[in-house]
């Protein structure tokens, strides 16, 4: 607290990120990174871009990258907005599209940046309860509101909704912006991007941090019709926030183009997920049905925080949330099969 602060600063509840340890001999399954490296073609493109041209400002419009994203998703480049990670894209979304006189709705158990951004941008938010089985209850969105946002699959549950449910929602609320945060969609869920062709009120947000293994490069994007994308551009340009640096633009475009690498890695992750679920269930864990690159699991006889601490003592890091209803759960990112085996051995030892 300081007398120099704007009043809002003391009200903020900044997002607490997962631990990023310096020690490398840990099994790091806490922040949903991809265990496989980025596309070799993306790495080559970054190396190629690292030359004397770095003295020049990058393309402010990220033209080549937006072209690649647009081609891959069957839209035009002016229907694509890019940012430094989807967290930055989401910041512009909250600021430019989700602040209305009526409240913003999102699930009560969801990505914890949503409450943070709501406070930062002075948005009145109503958290709608998930069902007992942690699925999103779409009838809860059937109330007067200014906008809606939810991840699909949801985080940290990993549970996905199908496209029909999203389409029904968009059709029933044509005056309401509906943002689908698809950070984890490539691990087996259905994308809502095709719906953006028909519904001008749907915006879909993606990241290259998960299925494209580029969390360190910081690239995310949004797809929607022109009025929504134009709003994001206006907000971005009012901040003078540069879209993406030269290396990120080059690497991200190459990563989008390398569909073979993308397919290979996401399939490996999904196969390892199925294998991990079987092993966890054998140890007595209850695992929610995941379409993401993580699982959300609890052991009926063991406290979640204690389990996390005991795993940490055995050099395995997983995520635990001190939040009612989910504080007995662990969120475990899908590592390589070898990493998952170390986790399972550690858990067998603890239990
Ligand atoms: N949305 C969700 C649901 C997430 O879990 C994350 C990752 N923490 C993000 C967005 C942000 O990812 P990034 O900023 O790396 O693109």
Site of tokens 């029904």: 168
Q: Is the CB of 96 under 6 A from ligand 1?
A: no
Q: Is the CB of 181 under 6 A from ligand 1?
A: yes
Q: Which atom of ligand 1 is nearest to the CA of 18?
A: 8
Tell how far the Cα of 86 is from the centroid of ligand 1, in angstroms. 6
* Burial group, residue 322, by CB count within 10 angstroms (0-12, 13-18, 19+): exposed
Q: Is the CB of 215 under 6 A from ligand 1?
A: yes
pLDDT band at 240 (very low <50, low <70, confident <90, very high): low
Tell how far the Cα of 176 is from the centroid of ligand 1, in angstroms. 23
Please tell me the predicted confidence (pLDDT) of residue 190.
98
Please tell me the predicted confidence (pLDDT) of residue 174.
97
Question: Could you tell me if the ipTM is greater than 0.90?
Answer: yes
Tell how far the Cα of 294 is from the centroid of ligand 1, in angstroms. 13
End-to-end C-alpha distance for the chain, whole angstroms: 44
Please tell me the predicted confidence (pLDDT) of residue 290.
98
Q: Is the CB of 209 under 6 A from ligand 1?
A: yes
Please tell me the predicted confidence (pLDDT) of residue 22.
65
Q: How far apart are CA 251 and CA 254, in angstroms?
A: 5
- The pLDDT tens digits of the residues spanning 75-96 come to 999 999 999 999 999 999 999 9
| Backbone CA torsion sign across 195, 200, 202, 204 | positive
- The pLDDT tens digits of the residues spanning 188-239 come to 999 999 999 999 999 999 999 999 999 999 999 999 999 999 999 999 988 7
pLDDT band at 15 (very low <50, low <70, confident <90, very high): confident
Tell how far the Cα of 52 is from the centroid of ligand 1, in angstroms. 32
8 Å CB contact between 288 and 305: no
């Amino acid at each position: 607290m300081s007398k120099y602060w704007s009043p809002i600063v003391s009200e903020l509840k900044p997002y607490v990120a997962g631990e990023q340890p310096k020690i490398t001999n840990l099994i790091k399954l806490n922040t949903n990174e991809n265990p496989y490296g980025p596309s070799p073609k993306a790495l080559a493109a970054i190396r190629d871009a690292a030359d004397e041209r770095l003295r020049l400002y990058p393309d402010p419009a990220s033209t080549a990258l937006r072209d690649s994203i647009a081609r891959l998703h069957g839209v035009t480049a002016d229907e694509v907005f890019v940012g430094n990670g989807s967290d930055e894209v989401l910041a512009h979304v909250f600021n430019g599209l989700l602040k209305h006189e009526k409240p913003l709705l999102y699930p009560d158990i969801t990505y914890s940046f949503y409450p943070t951004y709501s406070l930062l941008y002075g948005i009145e938010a109503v958290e709608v309860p998930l069902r007992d089985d942690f699925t999103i209850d779409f009838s809860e969105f059937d109330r007067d509101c200014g906008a809606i946002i939810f991840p699909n699959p949801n985080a940290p549950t990993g549970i996905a909704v199908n496209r029909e449910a999203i389409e029904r929602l968009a059709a029933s609320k044509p005056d309401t912006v509906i943002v689908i945060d698809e950070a984890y969609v490539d691990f087996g869920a259905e994308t809502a991007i095709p719906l953006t062709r028909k519904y001008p009120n749907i915006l879909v947000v993606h990241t290259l941090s998960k299925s494209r293994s580029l969390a360190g490069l910081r690239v995310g994007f949004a797809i929607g019709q022109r009025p929504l994308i134009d709003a994001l551009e206006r907000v971005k340009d009012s901040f003078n926030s540069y879209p993406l640096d030269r290396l990120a633009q080059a690497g991200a475009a190459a990563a989008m183009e390398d569909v073979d690498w993308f397919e290979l890695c996401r399939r490996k992750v999904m196969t390892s997920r199925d294998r991990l679920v079987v092993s966890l269930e054998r140890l007595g864990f209850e695992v929610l049905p995941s379409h993401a690159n993580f699982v959300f699991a609890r052991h009926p006889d063991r406290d979640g925080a204690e389990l996390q601490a005991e795993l940490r003592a055995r050099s395995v890091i997983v995520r635990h949330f001190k939040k009612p209803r989910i504080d007995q759960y662990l969120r475990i990112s899908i590592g390589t099969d070898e990493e998952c085996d170390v986790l399972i051995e550690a858990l067998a030892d603890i239990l």
